[in-house]
Amino acid sequence: MTRDEILDTIREILVDALAVDDDEVVPTATLIGDLGAESIDILDITFKLEQEFGFKIAQGELFPEGITQDPDYVQDGKVTPKGLEMLKERGPHFDMAALEADPSVENVRKIFTVEALINFCQQKLQAAA
Amino acid sequence: MRWMWIDRVIELVPNERLVAIKNISMAEDHLHDHFAATPTRNQLPIMPMSLVVEGMAQSAGILVGHASGFNEKVVLAKVTKATLTKDPTPGCTLRYTATIERLTENGASTKGTIDLYDPHTCYRDQSPTKPERIGEIDLIFSHLDRNSAGTQYPEENFVFSDSFRTILRTSGIESSF
């Protein structure tokens, strides 16, 4: 499956789950900021990804949980070096460059982009092949 | 006290499907206000769509809860689809059919259909004939104790209260919770 084909499937999922327009679902769009996803939408999107692509997604695999509540990972409104390492380790599908440049906690949600979803699905499909 | 918007579970296939019915009665207070008469219009009693959604949520919620032996606190998280093509009125019976689409440790997605037995159109010689399909409601449920924020809730399963136990018992369904 090519990245364009993966994007087409993800676009259908996000249009259905988030009631957004086709043309809003571009690789650079952030799910929580640009596309208006709420936390509960992540569960809906997870179910739809499993259904469409045929793989299983464990809890916290798509987006690591509990980061902002953990003082080891967030201090004084910034993601700690340990937190950044954890995100890189548990989220190889994320582009961490912007967050590493400015580790403000409000920037964590910005790494959850459509591009990250494409990466995630591609990695899962390759692992299953 | 809890509003129950189903009267009886008539079929339960564990982990798969649940069918429940709701008889709509003019004795329900809300029907007198939805919609009350005005100087220019007679009273128009219709079961509100929001309560039809709640009836499906209770039907599907029991199905999802049963799958974990009612150990999980199953809460409605999202209405992914809700359509209703006809207004349910007093004297009619709604039949909710909920099926599990996805079930994981975090929650479940369900699909649902709503059929209507209308005395005017669905009964012949006092026997019910084929009901009319009037809606579809798809839902997402979350298992509350597995929320992504890590919020802690009381140990007691406050979701499946005495009202749910009564529904299951009077429906002849064994439950040990």
Cβ separation B102–A50 shorter than 8 A = yes
| Chain centre distance of CA A2 | 19
Cβ separation B78–A44 shorter than 8 A = yes
In angstroms, the separation between the Cα of residue B102 and the nearest Cα of chain A is 7
CB pairs under 8 A between A and B: 43
| Predicted confidence band of residue B123 (pLDDT cuts 50, 70, 90) | confident
Question: Do B2 and B163 touch, CB atoms closer than 8 A?
Answer: yes
Cβ separation B148–A46 shorter than 8 A = no
Bridge partners of B96, per DSSP, are B20, B114
Q: What is the mean pLDDT of residues B118-126?
A: 79
Q: What is the mean pLDDT of residues B62-85?
A: 95
Cα–Cα distance measured from residue A74 to residue A56, given in angstroms and rounded to the nearest whole number = 29
Cα–Cα distance measured from residue A78 to residue A84, given in angstroms and rounded to the nearest whole number = 10
Q: Taking the CA atoms of chain A, what radius of gyration do you get in angstroms?
A: 14
Of B80, B104, B146, which is closest to A44 when you measure between CB atoms? B80
- Closest by CA position to B168, among listed B3, B8, B17, B2: B8
Helix and strand tally (H, E) in chain A? Answer: 5, 2
Cβ separation A47–B101 shorter than 8 A = yes
Question: Do B139 and B79 touch, CB atoms closer than 8 A?
Answer: yes
Cβ separation A47–B77 shorter than 8 A = no
> What pLDDT is attached to residue B69?
92
> What pLDDT is attached to residue B1?
43
> What pLDDT is attached to residue B149?
65
Q: Which chain B residues touch A50 with a CB distance below 8 Å?
A: 102
Query: In this predicted model, what pLDDT tens digit does every residue of B19-50 receive, in sequence order?
Result: 999 999 999 999 999 998 999 999 999 999 99
pTM as predicted: 0.86
Domain total for chain A? 1
In angstroms, the separation between the Cα of residue A42 and the nearest Cα of chain B is 10
Range(s) of the domain holding residue A45: 3-128
Residue of A nearest to B76 (CA): A40
The list of chain A residues with pLDDT below 50 reads: none
Q: Which chain A residues touch B145 with a CB distance below 8 Å?
A: none
Cβ separation B142–A43 shorter than 8 A = yes
Output the domain CATH number for residue A31: 1.10.1200.10
Catalytic residue set of B: 34
Task: Establish if B125 touches chain A: CB-CB under 8 angstroms.
Answer: no
How many C-beta atoms surround the C-beta of residue B131 within 10 A?
17
Tell me phi and psi for residue B43, to 5 degrees. Answer: -60, 140
Q: Taking the CA atoms of chain B, what radius of gyration do you get in angstroms?
A: 17
Q: Which chain A residues touch B149 with a CB distance below 8 Å?
A: 39, 65-66, 69
**Inter-axis angle of helices A3-18 and A39-53, to 10 degrees?**
140
Residue count of chain B: 177
Q: What is the CATH T-level fold of the domain B8-35+43-158, as seen in this structure?
A: Thiol Ester Dehydrase; Chain A (3.10.129)
> What pLDDT is attached to residue B67?
95
Q: What is the mean pLDDT of residues B96-111?
A: 95
Q: Could you state, in order of their start, the residue ranges of all structural domains in chain B?
A: 8-35+43-158
